[in-house]
Amino acid sequence: MVVSMLVFFTLAFPLKAQQDKKVTGSIITEKAFPFISMIRENKDLMKITGNDPVLKKQVLKQREKITASLKECGDAGCLASSVQFEPGDINAIGNELVKLYTEKAEFRQFISKLKDSDYYIVYESDFDTSFVRTVWKSVAAGINQALGVYIKGDRPRYFNIDAISFVPGDEKFLSIIRNDLRKELDNRENSSFFDIPINMVVNAMLVNERDEAARYEPLTEGMNKDPFESIAGINWDKYNYSVLLVPGEGPSVEGVNIDPKSINRCKLAAQKYNEGVVPFILVSGGHVHPNKTPYSEAVEMKKYLVNDLNIPGRAVIIDPHARHTTTNMRNAARIVYKFNLPADKKILITTDSLQNAFLLNMERRFKMELGCLPYRDLKKLDVESSEYYPVRNTLQVNSLDPLDP
């Protein structure tokens, strides 16, 4: 259902949320497009990219396309096309970024820092010039896809839970996009080749209420503060596993906060925790089912474990972002590295028999959706349990999935 613009903004962005829109946008950009965030954090790099003649021509071309679209376009899709990078532009920008790498010490230092960050770890064995091109192409592809999904209304991989919030031809949405584009043209601080496209991605995601990636950050605070602070005191010699992963199952009914399958998985996990098998339970699942649910699977599972099963809160870590089985496993491995859990220990998975059997037949889906396998030595232990070692490739950002990149 489409609501009026005033009511929409009141519902989507209450007063505090409106004040935090800039922060939310920064988090989305940092998580989905760290290449851009890291350039923006460096004044010298912003000056270099803003003053480069070839890149300045790209900015001028963008502005001319957008200006023309505001005069000629009668639908949001047409407006979005004016912001998306064309294949020739992607190649031209990539060539110029390689040139900057060869000519500017500051840019070489940036690329070294970018490699060290592990955000693009899958490409890190490439020569630096190839690394620059590949990273930029992945960024441009992510921007183009997000603009396609959240302005044009293109179909995402998981339409029922990831799609645009407006019906085709909605006049109020068209008006919002027009106004945002005009503001971006008027903003003379938009001097870099990526400024207007990434700003429009953030604007579109926020107006579609697609801020899932920014929720609960930083992940070491909030419901994870006590578990995170307790990690340093763990005697790891007592455990074969770093953590017990419990994938969530989203309810299919509006207003239901936790699905019976999640409850059953929590009971299995509580039993293993009480047996002393693991020091931590990691519950994983975001705001997924039904579409735009106010309930995070992980948050509700932690509440159930603590309040109903008497598991200490300091022993339950939440991953409130995962939207699929693939990202349940990837995000668990990421948390191992980001929370400084021992990566030489295996992750134990406890779930229902159907999902557990499914895990061993997902290799093709993992590679297709994530670009890599988020594990090594995945092994089924019994009907309801499996185990795997985390791998650092899970730290690779996925710009094609801005809801959980």
The reply to whether omega before 168 is within 30° of 0 (cis) is: no
Whether the CB-CB separation of 28 and 395 falls below 8 Å is answered with: no
Would you state the pLDDT for residue 49? 96
Residue 17 has pLDDT above 90, yes or no: no
Residue 300 has pLDDT above 80, yes or no: yes
pLDDT in tens, 119-152: 999 999 999 999 999 999 999 999 999 999 999 9
Residue 10 has pLDDT above 50, yes or no: no
Confidence of residue 336 (pLDDT cuts 50, 70, 90): very high
What is the pTM for the complete model shown?
0.93
Helix (H, G, I), strand (E, B) or coil at 386: strand
Would you state the pLDDT for residue 16? 52
Would you state the pLDDT for residue 188? 87
pLDDT in tens, 200-224: 999 999 999 999 999 999 999 999 9
DSSP β-ladder status, 241-247 and 346-350: parallel
DSSP β-ladder status, 316-319 and 346-350: unpaired
pLDDT in tens, 77-115: 999 999 999 999 999 999 999 999 999 999 999 999 999
pLDDT in tens, 45-89: 999 999 999 999 999 999 999 999 999 999 999 999 999 999 999
d(CA 216, CA 140): 27
Would you state the pLDDT for residue 180? 98
Would you state the pLDDT for residue 154? 97
DSSP characters over 109-122: HHHHHHHHHTTTGG
